[in-house]
Structure 1
Amino acid sequence: MSPLNWDGSAPSSGLTESVRELDTGVPGLRLRVTAIGAAGVEARVRGGDQRLLLVEAEPLGERPARVRVEWRLPCAGATGLWRPHTDSRWLPPSWSKPRVADLAAGVPIGSLLGAGDTALCTFAVGELLRPVTIGEGAVEETGEFVWWVEHQVDREPLSLRLDLTGRHFAETIAEMVAWWGTGAQPAVPDGAFEPVFCTWYVRHLEITAAEVERLAALAVPLGFGALIVDDGWQTEETTRSYATTGDWQPAQGPFPDFADHVARVRALGLAYLLWVALPFAGDRSAAGMRFADRRLAHLEELETSVLDPADPEVREHLIERLAALVEEYGADGLKIDFIDTFARHATDRQAVAEGLRALLTGLDERLRPQRPELLIEHRQPYVGPGLWPYATMVRATDCPHNAVENRARTADLRLTAGPLAVHADPLTWHPDERPVEIAVLLQSVLFATAQVSVDLGTQDAGQLAVLRFWLAVMREHVGLLQRGAFRPHRPESGYPLLESRQGAGLAFGRYAPVPITVTGAFELLLVANADPDPLVRLAFDRSPGPLCLLVRDCAGATVADTTVTVAGQELAVTVPRGGLLTLAPADRLGQG
């Protein structure tokens, strides 16, 4: 067989490369494996229907060695490229800079999309700890789409799963996530799905114990279940510097008796979480001076060093300080920030990944036995399955005032978060924002756990009514909205429609004037309308019979409450922007 005409998008290593081409049995799919720095390569393809393939490749002879798998398909009918880090959905050229996923950042998965949310090819790599380099893009010369994945193989072979079944892309991604499995993942507590009030956008670093307690008291009657005290609790400085990070001691001026303060907030009924910037040791901190020779980098503009988690003393220091926040002061959990910074500044990403795993394992083994309900927040881009055992929730990265971005990021996270709760970036708005616009912000993250960061004491009655209503909806239907089978639609268009199903419950978020297709029987159907077009059009795959219909506006006031009989299989209902439509079979009146 003559060599395939590969375009060289995977760069040459300059070492001995042993190449083998594989017959997949799938029309149009070409695949080859390369062992770099090895005398030969062994590879095999397994798959029952020849469209669900598991490729395993490993070097022959001495290990470790790097192994690469490359494959390509005709780029026919492609509409976009889904990747887990919520970037543009466009089709990049094959010569684009590759991405790297390891424990500290990224997820080794992706999907080439076709019309109608079909997956032309979804892939995932089995390596969850060490760096995986991923190239993907359209080949100008041939009109094909090419992928390549590469990582170092020590013992287990490089394992790659391909799905070319043409199903809905969310289904194929869900099966990849199940393939990764959760291992020893502890149960995620219900508290991880409670709405959160966060101090960051409302106060930034200008916080005190009294101010936190004021906001906490206002948050409880609105339906919040947890409080995150963000950056500022550990310093008396109010600039955007990280010069005092790393010691993780409460600032005595603004927080004079920290344990009593935490106890007072918890007595209100809120779980209490503290922000920590895990990699940072500031220039004016004791940790910064102590570990000056054990850092990955110095960030002059931020006045801090990035510590090296591969160093045992660094790990011991961080475990002791972070554990004390729970053991000595009574915090319910931690918002662990900037984990991806380890990866960005590592010269040896594998050593850093292994050190990070040892650090997080040590902290978990220290705290989890005494606090099974411990809450730990991670955020994009450190959301991969290798981190699942060390977190309870993952959050969209910072996107203040941006409903569309928050919706896209939380939707992407729902696809790959496994058992973890997915949290929105804290919602914030101008003090004069109209109630309906606040409702749209909340609707945009309806299928995630809401976080909010505004001064609750300055909100007017209309603003508070919207917040109270939508938090109540999220809490009442938490299973359906956050734990159901999630199906987002049209990622290349910014997810104009989101859907979730749990048992006989069905929920939709409508963010554009699009029709909604309802499949299967249901006992409860929710539609949140965030679009200015009020005419919500439903197409059923069977006659739903008489329905109880309830329409509420953005603050929960009843607009319509009636029984309708659907003539045929279509129904159009006027639902105001920011409002909620609830449908249920008429014979269930009063039961749900």
Structure 2
Amino acid sequence: MEEIWEPHAGAAAAGRPRPLAVEGLDLLVTGEATARVTDEGVVEVTGADDGEVRIEWRVPCVDATAFWSPDSSLTGWLPASWSAPRRVSLTRGAPVAALVGTGDVAICAFAADRADVLAGAGVVEESAEFRFWVQATGRLTVRIDTSRRHFARCLAGIAGWWWAGREAHVPDAARLPAYSTWYSMHQNVSPAAVESQAALGKELGLDLIIVDDGWMTGDRTRGYAHCGDWEPISLPDTAAHVQRVHDLGVQYMLWYALPFIGQDSEAAKKLGRYALKQDDRMGVIVADPRYAVVRDHLTDRLARAVEEWGMDGLKVDFVDWFDVQDPPPAGPEADCATVAEGVERLLGGIRSRITAARPQAMIEHRQPYVSPGLWPYTTMVRATDCPLSPAENRQRTIDTRLVAGPMAVHADMLMWHPAEPPEQVACHLINVLFSVPQISVDLAAQTPEQREVLAFWLGFVREHLATLQLGELRPDRPDLGYPMVTAVGPDTVAVGRYAPLPVRAVAGSWRTLLVANADADPEVHLLGGSGEAEATVQDARGRVLRKGVLDLTGAAVVAVPRGGLLTLRRP
């Protein structure tokens, strides 16, 4: 049953709504607020430093095609105005959304400058308008962009606004293809297995290995009751093992379920009473970071991986579990007023410790904890688990990229059945082409053809990293799950084609045009071009099928097999 939300619920305490006139936008404000229009034509509304403030506005719902949200499960359909609002916090979601119209323009994109807000959006049935509102206690600024630029440009502007004046440090290694043990090994990790996959992965272009769950326990039942002590039960002589991986030329990251203190751990005896909540199904408590004793224990345990064992970074998992809507009252030992403050102190302490030991140390977070408030504490953000789901992985990585700012965005780990044909292995990689791929299959079990696919496409990702990850991202049709995605670099344009759609080859915008075809239809129509270009067609394994000069004037059609690549080069 759909939850119904009273439009002005919660606002009564701040007084009656009042209009706030801004050119081109009618605002309704509860509480004290002022508005200004920036040089870019973007409206910024700022609420008072204390008390409750609510900012509401409406736009005509004309030519609307999709409602975009960083929560990928919500992107596409248009919610009703009476739908339950999103409660955004430091560790869950991000305070941003957009109403997208025909041509992928942003009818309206908005964001808040703080993590903890209540935000609603939806179609008003009585007027066919689309209503937005944001509510918070304390100082709040909301950015409202009705410029009708491509929605990706509006969202990039929001990410830049969030990060303005700050510097990001994302090590180069955070943007290179990685190997993960999760789907390939699950908890069955051992030094020999890790070192074997690291060696095989290095040959294919994987310079980083991420060892997931199982290293800290001999139990193989996939539970979390052994979390909290973080002793390397399955990775004995850990520093020597890490050094052997380093000797292969491969960097090493280690997984931690940060909030969990398992019921079978020694840590539970010490920290069991500092619980935000208990989850008997998972066999854990969620530790309360408002207490210094909790933060100190977790920081020491995680920093040890880098300081003592020589790891290159940490995969910090389940941070969203700190998001407890009604936490218990803090006891007298607590030194933080809120859980969010405790989380920031915890993550900040971990980041400081590991970068002091290794300045290029990496930290991975994942959806749904994608808030810009967490950016100072991470280097990379991964799409949430979606095993063997290429379309879902594509949508989640693109949604994350759109508002990730300086962070490297990683795909969920790629896995496939041993009988997967090479063309489909290539399609898995093409679907996450605009993020960092993580591979999680037994590399020793791959056929020669599958290994060729991996070597070719991982090499392609590395060669064109500047365009694929750092170029301007222009995804098409969020309402259809991005059937085509384009990245624009200084002189290279890369296109991922996931449906039988024509590709724009407009003259003057590129010297190199790359079209990766993940659709079963091989006929790639090139529109809007002029002149000639050298064309090369390769199959999923990188083998050259055809070469020649192609006339782009008007329209051209090139046969590119599923999982293959078309490369056009101008002199």
Name the TM-score class by shorter chain: over 0.9
**The one of 179, 190, 201 aligned to 1:197:** 179
CA contact (8 A) 1:78 1:113 kept: yes
Deviations 1:246-297 (A, max 9, x none): 111101xx32211111111111111100000010000011222211111100
TM-fit CA distance, 1:533: 0.7
11-20 or 213-222: which moved more? 11-20
Question: Which residue is 1:162 aligned to?
Answer: 144
135-144 or 501-510: which moved more? 135-144
Is the alpha carbon distance of 1:360 and 1:184 closer, same or farther for their aligned partners in structure 2, counting shifts above 3 Å?
Answer: farther
Equivalent-residue separation in structure 1 for 2:387 and 2:431 (angstroms): 13
2:339 alignment partner, SS class: helix
1:496 matched to 2:475? The reply is: no
1:463 matched to 2:429? The reply is: no
Question: Which residue is 1:559 aligned to?
Answer: 545
Question: Which residue is 1:419 aligned to?
Answer: 406
The correspondence of residues 148-227 of structure 1 with structure 2, limited to 5 A, is 148-153=133-138, 157-181=139-163, 183-227=165-209
Task: Specify the code of the residue in structure 1 equivalent to 2:142.
Answer: L
Deviations 1:519-554 (A, max 9, x none): 4331211000001111111113x52x2211100000
**The one of 390, 414, 421 aligned to 1:434:** 421
**The one of 482, 490, 503 aligned to 1:516:** 503
Question: Which residue is 1:298 aligned to?
Answer: 278
Runs of at least 5 residues in structure 1 that lack an aligned partner in the other structure: 1-6, 36-40, 588-592
Task: Specify the code of the residue in structure 1 equivalent to 2:57.
Answer: W
Question: Which residue is 2:236 aligned to?
Answer: 256
Question: Which residue is 2:557 aligned to?
Answer: 572
CA contact (8 A) 1:24 1:50 kept: no
- The Cα RMSD (Å) is 1.7
Question: Which residue is 1:23 aligned to?
Answer: 21
CA contact (8 A) 1:532 1:576 kept: yes
Equivalent-residue separation in structure 2 for 1:224 and 1:10 (angstroms): 52
Task: Specify the code of the residue in structure 2 equivalent to 1:318.
Answer: L
1:561 alignment partner, SS class: strand
Question: Which residue is 1:78 aligned to?
Answer: 64
Question: Which residue is 1:404 aligned to?
Answer: 391
TM-fit CA distance, 1:14: 5.5
Q: TM-score, normalised by structure 1?
A: 0.92
Equivalent-residue separation in structure 1 for 2:209 and 2:23 (angstroms): 54
Task: Specify the code of the residue in structure 2 equivalent to 1:47.
Answer: V
TM-fit CA distance, 1:215: 1.3
Q: TM-score, normalised by structure 2?
A: 0.95
Is the alpha carbon distance of 1:469 and 1:271 closer, same or farther for their aligned partners in structure 2, counting shifts above 3 Å?
Answer: same
Equivalent-residue separation in structure 2 for 1:91 and 1:49 (angstroms): 30
Structure 1 stretches of 4+ moved >6 Å: none
Among all aligned residue pairs of Structure 1 and Structure 2, give the percentage whose two residues are the same amino acid: 46
Equivalent-residue separation in structure 2 for 1:321 and 1:48 (angstroms): 46
TM-fit CA distance, 1:143: 1.6
Task: Specify the code of the residue in structure 1 equivalent to 2:246.
Answer: R
Task: Specify the code of the residue in structure 1 equivalent to 2:512.
Answer: L
Equivalent-residue separation in structure 2 for 1:355 and 1:213 (angstroms): 37
Question: Which residue is 1:103 aligned to?
Answer: 90
TM-fit CA distance, 1:21: 1.1
Deviations 1:57-100 (A, max 9, x none): 216xxx4x221111112222211100011123111111211112
Task: Specify the code of the residue in structure 2 equivalent to 1:288.
Answer: A
Task: Specify the code of the residue in structure 2 equivalent to 1:270.
Answer: V
**The one of 29, 33, 37 aligned to 2:29:** 33
344-353 or 256-265: which moved more? 344-353
Equivalent-residue separation in structure 2 for 1:420 and 1:188 (angstroms): 7
2:295 alignment partner, SS class: helix
TM-fit CA distance, 1:569: 3.2
Question: Which residue is 1:3 aligned to?
Answer: none
1:368 alignment partner, SS class: helix
Equivalent-residue separation in structure 1 for 2:88 and 2:167 (angstroms): 20
1:146 matched to 2:131? The reply is: yes
CA contact (8 A) 1:379 1:397 kept: yes
1:23 alignment partner, SS class: strand
Number of aligned residue pairs: 558
Deviations 1:295-323 (A, max 9, x none): 10010000000011111111111111111
Question: Which residue is 1:539 aligned to?
Answer: 527
CA contact (8 A) 1:185 1:389 kept: no
**The one of 260, 265, 273 aligned to 1:280:** 260
488-497 or 9-18: which moved more? 9-18
TM-fit CA distance, 1:141: 2.2
Equivalent-residue separation in structure 1 for 2:207 and 2:236 (angstroms): 25
Is the alpha carbon distance of 1:134 and 1:430 closer, same or farther for their aligned partners in structure 2, counting shifts above 3 Å?
Answer: same
Deviations 1:222-244 (A, max 9, x none): 11010000000001000121001
Deviations 1:444-486 (A, max 9, x none): 0011100010111111111111111100100111111111111
CA contact (8 A) 1:297 1:345 kept: no
The correspondence of residues 325-336 of structure 1 with structure 2, limited to 5 A, is 325-336=305-316
1:479 alignment partner, SS class: helix
TM-fit CA distance, 1:158: 1.4
Task: Specify the code of the residue in structure 1 equivalent to 2:474.
Answer: R
The correspondence of residues 358-377 of structure 1 with structure 2, limited to 5 A, is 358-377=345-364
The correspondence of residues 220-259 of structure 1 with structure 2, limited to 5 A, is 220-251=202-233, 254-259=234-239
Task: Specify the code of the residue in structure 2 equivalent to 1:556.
Answer: G
Task: Specify the code of the residue in structure 2 equivalent to 1:554.
Answer: A
Is the alpha carbon distance of 1:553 and 1:284 closer, same or farther for their aligned partners in structure 2, counting shifts above 3 Å?
Answer: same
1:125 matched to 2:105? The reply is: no
Is the alpha carbon distance of 1:197 and 1:99 closer, same or farther for their aligned partners in structure 2, counting shifts above 3 Å?
Answer: same
1:573 alignment partner, SS class: strand
1:406 alignment partner, SS class: helix
2:281 alignment partner, SS class: helix
1:412 alignment partner, SS class: helix
Deviations 1:98-154 (A, max 9, x none): 1122221111000001111011100011114xx11111111122222111111110x
CA contact (8 A) 2:13 2:52 kept: no
